[in-house]
Structure 1
Amino acid sequence: MKTTGNTIFISGGSAGIGFAIAKKLSDGNNIIINGRNQERLQRALAELHNAIAIQGDLSLESDRIRIANELKNNHPEVNIIINNAGFAYSYRLDQTTNVHEKALQEINTNYIAIIHFTELMLPHLLQKETAAIVNISSIAAYRSHPLIPTYSASKAALHGYTTALRASYTEHPNLHVFEVFPPLVNTDFSNEIGGKDGIPPSEVADELYLGLEKNQVEIPVGMTKKVTQVIHEAMAKLS
């Protein structure tokens, strides 16, 4: 997959992992960042080049449709979408009520919204000479944690969807489907679960860049590499 000459849409691109990815890919590419907060988007743009912003909340169906239409109509050169925006609650199942309400919000943002936005953009991407969908997953897709139980479940669902999406479009060699698996990352997003002890967001961005360059469709980061190695070795023994 080429790493320059692209126009890349990054959801959740004003902070954390999304912003680090925007910085890493801004050399040689045109970047469109998305986020809910206009002021935060403007602060991010001040530190980027070759970048513009589209404000909106992709967890809302109306915003997903509006943003997809804006990309297709006003930025038809878009050929990569990076589904990075996410949401998480930190709590314990044995100490919390109304778990289903928290799970509903996480599943909507981390899974349903990504499926719908991807569905809206797919016909456009399939027309491109080279295109990619990048889903930012998590080590939690493989290994749940008692402090983020339903977030972990939402990422496991995203992993299953991404794998099936990739398999469904094998006859379209112009479309690449990537999945990135960060471990704990030091961002505001992960502050409640000890994010200060995590890796820097730039490490995730660096690994994504290398993965795109090598056309490595599953991209483990940090300690996730050990987890995926164990899984792949176990699967190899079963096959």
Structure 2
Amino acid sequence: MKTTGNTVFISGGSAGIGLAIAKKLSKAGNKVIINGRNEERLQKALLEINNAVAIKGDLSIQVDRERIAKELADLYPDTNILINNAGAAFMNDLGDQNNNAAQKAYDEINTNYLSVIHFTSLVLPQLLEKENAAIVNISSIAVYRGNKYLPTYSASKAALHSYTQGLRDTFIENEKLNVYEVYPPLVNTEFSAEIGGANGIPPEEVAEELLLALEKNQFEVPVGDTKKIHALIEPIVEKING
């Protein structure tokens, strides 16, 4: 699809991967709408991006999702790319009975999966009116296997992965709407600091891979170490799907 002249909404766009994507797409000649929960961080981010505006709100809350979707329709009707990037992750020790594991899992599933489904459904009618539209879901290398540090986060991203595949299949015959999935490995952001993010790749690498994928209509976008896993698994998936 074309990578310039778009109007792009990015959830979680005030920091980390979302901000890196916003900068990259803005530099490529796109209008960018960043979303986040913190007004101060949004305004700080806007100082780093050209041709950008911000919509404050928490997409994990239904009333905010509905309000933001309406703002996009009313104020930014040209929006043709939706990037679902906002996420939640918690270290979740399933062996610790005082850990409140279920609540952490609920928050992750709500933010990383259920909210994405609802918000996408709210914005979808607007996207379907466009001649050139895309939905981009930022998942994770964690879709392939959970671990004892992030078991419920991994489960939420695996759910997002399955949903994304189903969404893509739903619109496979619609040449005007493409569905992408980005699989970052560990990324050096504030979001991942608790789990050793300092050892991860820079968020700019994720943004660069996404831009290249948009140019090539490459709907599966593994990044960094995820490429090795993806190369092994995808041929098997394609064979199963026939």
TM-score (norm 1): 0.97
AA at the equivalent of 1:116? H
Confirm or deny: 8 A CA contact 2:92 2:152 kept in the other structure.
no
Equivalenced residue count is 239
Gapped regions of structure 2 (runs ≥ 5) = none
Amino acid at match of 1:131: A
**Aligned partners of 1:206 and 1:236: how far apart in 2?**
26
Cα distance change, pair 233–168 in 1 and its aligned pair in 2 (3 A): closer
1:230 aligns with 2:232: yes
Aligned to 2:192: 190
- Alpha-carbon distance between aligned partners in 2 of 1:161 and 1:181, rounded to the nearest angstrom: 14
Separation in 1, partners of 2:238, 2:83: 30
Matched, 1:118 2:120: yes
Seen in structure 2, the aligned counterparts of structure 1 residues 129 and 102 have a Cα distance that, compared at 3 Å, is same
Q: Secondary structure at the match of 1:2?
A: coil
CA distance in 2, matches of 1:203, 1:193: 19
**Identical-pair percentage:** 64
Output the CA distance in 2 between the equivalents of 1:83 and 1:99: 25
Equivalent AA in structure 2 for residue 147 of structure 1: Y
User: Could you report, residue by residue, the CA deviation over 1:155-212 in whole angstroms, capped at 9, with x for unpaired residues?
Assistant: 0000000000000011211000000000000001001110000000000000000000
Structure 1 237/176 Cα, relative in aligned 2: closer, same or farther at 3 Å?
A: closer
CA distance in 2, matches of 1:120, 1:189: 26
2: CA distance between counterparts of 1:192 and 1:168? 37
Cα distance in 1 for partners of 2:112, 2:235 equals 28
Q: 1:236 offset after TM fit, Å?
A: 5.7
TM-superposed deviation, 1:144: 1.4
- With over 3 angstroms needed to count, the CA separation of the structure-2 counterparts of 1:62 and 1:236, relative to structure 1, is closer
Distance 2:237 2:144 in 1: 14
| Misfit runs of 4+, over 6 Å | none
Give the match for residue 48 of structure 1: 49
Unaligned runs of 5+ in 1: none
Letter in 1 for 2:2: K
Tell me how large the CA RMSD over aligned residues is: 1.1
1:167 equivalent in structure 2: 169
